[in-house]
A and B are shown apart, each in its own frame.
With several copies, the nearest count.
Chain A
Amino acid sequence: MLFKYASPASFYPLAGKLAPVFAVIALVLTAVGLYQGFIIAPTDFQQGEVYRIIFIHVPSAWMGMFIYLVMAMYACLALVFNTRLSAMMMQALAPTGAIMTAIALWTGALWGKPTWGTYWAWDARMTSTLFLLFLYFGYMALDNAIEDRRRADKAGALLVLVGVVNVPIIYFSVRWWNTLHQGATVVPGSSKMADTMLAAMMVMTFAMWAYAIAVALWRVRGIILEREKNTAWVQELLDRP
C-alpha cells in the first residue's frame, strides 16, 4: 500500500487529490486559529497584548524544525533505499521550511523588541535558529548547483543528514545554556499556559501543518512532471487535454 504510492506515477494523482483538501483545511484552521487567538484568548498577565505574536511565532518555529526533521527522514530513505520520490519530497519541502524558519526569526525579533527590549541578541536559541535557515539555504544552493539530478539528490540528502544535529541544539538550547529566550512553555503533561491560549496555538500549528503539506504536494507535482517528463505516463498525461 505504502510502496504503491512510493512511485511518482501513482503519487502524482494522489497528491493532486490531497493538495486541495489540505489547502482547505489550512484555510479553515487559520481562520479559526486567528479568531481564537486574537479575539477569544485573554490578554496575558505579564505581556499584555503583544504576546499574541505567539500564535504565529511558535507554530512557525515548530514547523521550521519539524520540516527539517521530515526532510532528514526523506534523506535517509533517499540514501538507503534510493527511492526517487523521497528526493523530490525533500526538494519540495525545503522552501516551505526556509519560509517557516524565516517567519519564526522575523516574528521573534519583532516580539523581542517590546518584551526584552531588543530585536536580536546572539543567544543560543536565536543563533541556532538562524543556522537552521542557513542550512535550508545551503541545501537549496547545493541542489541548484549540481546539475546531475541523481548526484544533486544524494549530495543534498547527505548535507541534510549532517545538518540534523542542529535541530536538537535548537530545541534544548534553552535548557543547556542560559539564554535570553524563554524556556519551554508547552511541556507534555503540564503546559504553563492558559487553555484558550494553548488551544489557539495548537489550531494555528495544525493550520500551518496543513499549509505546509498542501504546498509541498503542489510543488512535488511540479517536480514530478519536470523530472519524469519523458516517461510514458507523463506524455500520456500531457496529451490528454
Chain B
Amino acid sequence: MNAMAEPEAEFAVLPGFVAVLRRDLLLAWRTRAEIAQPVIFFIMVASLFPLGIGADMKLLARVGAGVVWACGVLATLLSLPRIFAQDHADGTLEQMALSAYPLSAIAGGKLAAHWLTTGLPLSLTAPVIGLQFGMDAPTQGVLVLSLLIGSPILSMIGAIAAALTLGARGQSLLIALLVLPLYVPVVIFGAGAVESFGAGIDHGAHLALLGAGTLAGLVATPFVVAAAIRIALD
C-alpha cells in the first residue's frame, strides 16, 4: 500500500513542463504538415503582398521589414486557437488542472511547444522572404535576430488570449481582437530594429526592448495562463 501513501508535498516543476512539451511536439510531429503550415502561410502571404500594393521595387524595399513582421504576426495569430482548443474539448485540460505539477509549469510547456512549432520556424524562414524584398545578408541577420527575440512575446500574449477565450464562440476572431492591439508594439519595435539597422542607426535599443518584453513575459505568462485556464474550467 505504500504506493498510495500520502505523497510528499514536493514541488516539482520540470517534469510537468517536460511532459507537456514532449507531448505537444510529438503531436506536431505526428501531423508533420502542421509544423510546416505557419511557415508556408508566412511565405505565401509575404509573396502575395506585392499584389496588393503593386510591385514597385522601391516601395517594397521600404516596407520589407514591416511586411515580414506583419506576416509573421498573422501566421502566429492563425495558429493561436489550436493551442488549447483541443485539450479543452477532450477534457485533457481538466486533467492538467488535476496533475501532480503546478498548472503554471504545464502552461509553460504548452507555451514552449507553441513557440518551437511557430515562432522558431518563422524566424528561421524569414531570410527567404527578406530576399524577395531585396534585403542584404547583414540586414537579414538583424531580421532573424529581431524575430528570435520578439516572437516569444507573440506566443505568450497569444497563449493568454487563447486561454481566456476558451469556450467562447467565434474564438478565432475573438483572439484576434484581443491580441492584435498588443501585437502592434512588438511589430513596431521588431520592424524598427531592422529599419534602423538598414538606415545605419543604432538598432540595439529596439532589440533590448523586445528582449525585456520576452524576459518579463517568461516570468509572468505561465501564471497568467494557468489562472485563465482555471477560470475556463470552473
Question: Do any CB atoms of chain A lie under 8 A from CB atoms of chain B in the complex?
Answer: yes
A residues within 8 Å of B by Cβ? 79, 120-122, 127, 130-131, 134-135, 137-138, 140-142, 144-148, 150-151, 154-155, 158-159, 162
Closest-by-CB residue of A relative to B232 is: A151
Choose among B40, B168, B184 the residue that contacts A131 (Cβ–Cβ < 8 A).
B184
Residue contact A121 to B174, C-beta cutoff 8 Å: no
B residues within 8 Å of A by Cβ? 31-34, 36-37, 40, 44, 47, 50-51, 55, 160, 164-165, 167-171, 174, 177-178, 180-182, 184-185, 224, 227-228, 231-232, 234
Chain A at the B interface: SS class: helix
Residue contact A145 to B33, C-beta cutoff 8 Å: yes
A162: chain B residues within 8 A (beta carbon): 160, 224
Given contacts A130-B181, A131-B184, 5 further A-B contacts (CB under 8 A): A141-B36, A145-B34, A155-B231, A158-B228, A158-B231
Tell me the bound Cα distance from A12 to B160 in angstroms. Answer: 34
Residue contact A145 to B31, C-beta cutoff 8 Å: yes
User: Assuming A131-B181, A131-B184, A162-B160, is B174 touching A142 (CB within 8 A)?
Assistant: yes
Choose among A135, A144, A154 the residue that contacts B234 (Cβ–Cβ < 8 A).
A154
Residue contact B167 to A146, C-beta cutoff 8 Å: yes
Choose among B47, B55, B170, B181 the residue that contacts A145 (Cβ–Cβ < 8 A).
B170
B40: chain A residues within 8 A (beta carbon): 137, 141
Tell me the bound Cα distance from A138 to B181 in angstroms. Answer: 9
Residue contact A150 to B234, C-beta cutoff 8 Å: yes
Nearest chain B CB to A78 CB, angstrom units: 11
Residue contact B234 to A145, C-beta cutoff 8 Å: no
Choose among B44, B171, B177, B228 the residue that contacts A155 (Cβ–Cβ < 8 A).
B228
Residue contact A158 to B164, C-beta cutoff 8 Å: yes
Nearest chain B CB to A135 CB, angstrom units: 7
B50: chain A residues within 8 A (beta carbon): 122
Residue contact B165 to A142, C-beta cutoff 8 Å: yes
Residue contact A122 to B51, C-beta cutoff 8 Å: yes
User: Assuming A155-B232, A158-B231, A162-B160, is B55 touching A144 (CB within 8 A)?
Assistant: no
Residue contact A134 to B44, C-beta cutoff 8 Å: yes
